């Protein structure tokens, strides 16, 4: 019996990679948001603009954190798929070897 490339393992690894990219992008956006807030000056015009933009930045930050959590779950799911495929392949090799 010939065993070709295990597509389930590759799918799991691809899912892990996509999840890691999503987490990296979200973390970068959170860092940019926090860094941008700390760099603003304390003039009265800036304070007014800052208060007006708090709601928007909170919504952006919330959606970014949700996206980061989705990336985490995506990595976990990919790891489970890769592990299950690896175990199935190991069982198959043990059975036919």
Q: What is the pLDDT of residues 5-53, one digit of tens each?
A: 568 888 999 999 999 999 999 999 888 877 665 555 455 666 666 666 6
> At residue 81, does pLDDT exceed 90?
yes
pTM of the prediction?
Answer: 0.67
User: Is residue 81 within 8 Å of 11, Cβ to Cβ?
Assistant: yes
Classify residue 40 as left (phi > 0), alpha (psi -120 to 50) or beta. Answer: beta
Say what the pLDDT of residue 2 is.
46
> At residue 67, does pLDDT exceed 90?
yes
First and final CA of the chain: distance in angstroms?
A: 10
Rounded CA separation 92/44 (Å): 70
Distances (CA, A) of 52 to 10, 46, 57: 47, 10, 10
Q: Does 58 or 54 have the greater pLDDT score?
A: 58
């Amino acid at each position: 019996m010939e065993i070709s490339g295990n597509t389930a393992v590759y799918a799991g690894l691809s899912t892990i990679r996509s999840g890691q990219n999503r987490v990296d992008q979200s973390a970068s956006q959170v860092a940019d948001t926090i860094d941008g807030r700390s760099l603003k000056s304390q003039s009265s015009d800036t304070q007014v603009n800052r208060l007006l933009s708090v709601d928007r930045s909170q919504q952006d930050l919330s959606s970014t954190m949700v996206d980061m959590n989705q990336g985490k779950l995506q990595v976990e799911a990919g790891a489970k798929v890769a592990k299950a495929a690896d175990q199935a392949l190991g069982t198959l090799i043990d059975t036919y070897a």
